[in-house]
Every structure is written in C-alpha cells, then in structure tokens.
Amino acid sequence: MKFVALTIGPIYKTLKNAKKTREIWGASYFFSFVIKEIVKKLVGKVEFITPYVEDEIFEKRDGVGLFHDRIIFKSDTVKKDELQKIVDEVLKASEKLDDVAIVSMPFISPFDEKEVKNMFEKYKKVYVVEEHFEEGGLGTILSDFAMKNRIDTNIQKIAIKNQYIHDIGDCSYLREKLGIDAKSIVKRVKHG
C-alpha cells in the first residue's frame, strides 16, 4: 500500500496579495473547490486519510475553507509516473535534442547574477520550462535581468499560458494538454 500526498498552491502567496476581504474569500473558495473536484475524481478509487469524505458535508456543501490545500490517500493503483515532476519531462526532452544543456535553478533567491551572466554568454538561446503560468516566474526574472543588463540573448518560456484551466486529470494528462510534456518541449525547441 502506497501513501500519496498532493498539495496545491501557492496559497500563502495568493492570500498575501489579497487586499480586500472578498479577495481572501475568493481565494479560499477557489482552493477548496479545486481540492473537492480532485477528490471527486478519486472517490472509490483510493482510501482517503484526509479529507474526510464519508458524509453529507462532502456531498452537499460548497464554501470557503471546507477542504484544505492537501489530499493524503492510500492506494495500490497509483503509478509513480502519474506523480512525476516537470523536471522528468525536461530530462526526457533533453535526450531527444542535440547540443542541449540543462540548468536547474530550484531557488531564485538569492539570485546568482554571475552564474546567470555566464549562462547567457555560453547560450544565446535559453528555454525556461516551468510548471506554472508563463508570466511572473523564472522566465520573466531572466528576461528582466537580460534587459536591464543589456545582454543579447533569446529567452523562450515553455509554461502554461495565462488562462483559466478547466481540465482535471493526472499530471501527465495535464502536462500534455497544456504543452509542457516531453513531446511538446522537444517540438518547441526543434521548431522555435
């Protein structure tokens, strides 16, 4: 039996940006709604540790804060590849491309300006793969840095377009649907 945990977010950053009570309410409702919808897809397939799904609160109620930002369940059927991170997609894509280097920047703070400048000197075209929206992430930070320092480089963001996402599915399905799976990354690099 495997234990699986899934967390959504960034809740703290979202709530931190709220300026009005209705914005806090809306963010709380949104995260609760998303977790409830994911749980609905898993009910009957897994044994939940949290949230509690065995009574009418789960079936009949919607609202703020009813479901927190994480799900923990037991299952024998969950496959490891369904829970892989975007890094695995990038690594798969890199195997199909020539003359590619992968630079991992798991932390953007503190920002290592010297290392980033060295990377831009070595590579005139940089693809930034991110498993979130394309604006406001590492690609944006690198683009701003290059512009401020007048560095001539071509930065391409491979990320989720800034739009509402109405699909629900496992990680591999959503990566493919949103164009951030290995196949999509290879296609973008070869043609972009």
**Each residue's pLDDT tens digit, 82-126:** 544 444 565 566 566 665 656 666 556 677 888 888 888 888 788
**Each residue's pLDDT tens digit, 21-39:** 777 777 777 777 777 777 7
Task: Classify each residue of 150-189 as buried b or exposed e, where b means 16 or more C-beta atoms within 10 Å of its C-beta.
Answer: ebebebebbbbeeeeeeeeeebbebbeebebbbebbbebb
Cα distances from 164 to residues 112, 132, 168, 184, in angstroms, run 33, 12, 12, 20
pTM above 0.85, yes or no: no
CATH code, residues 83-191? 3.40.50.920
Each domain of the chain, given as residue ranges in start order, spans 2-78, 83-191
Indicate the helix (H) or strand (E) that contains 188: helix 182-191
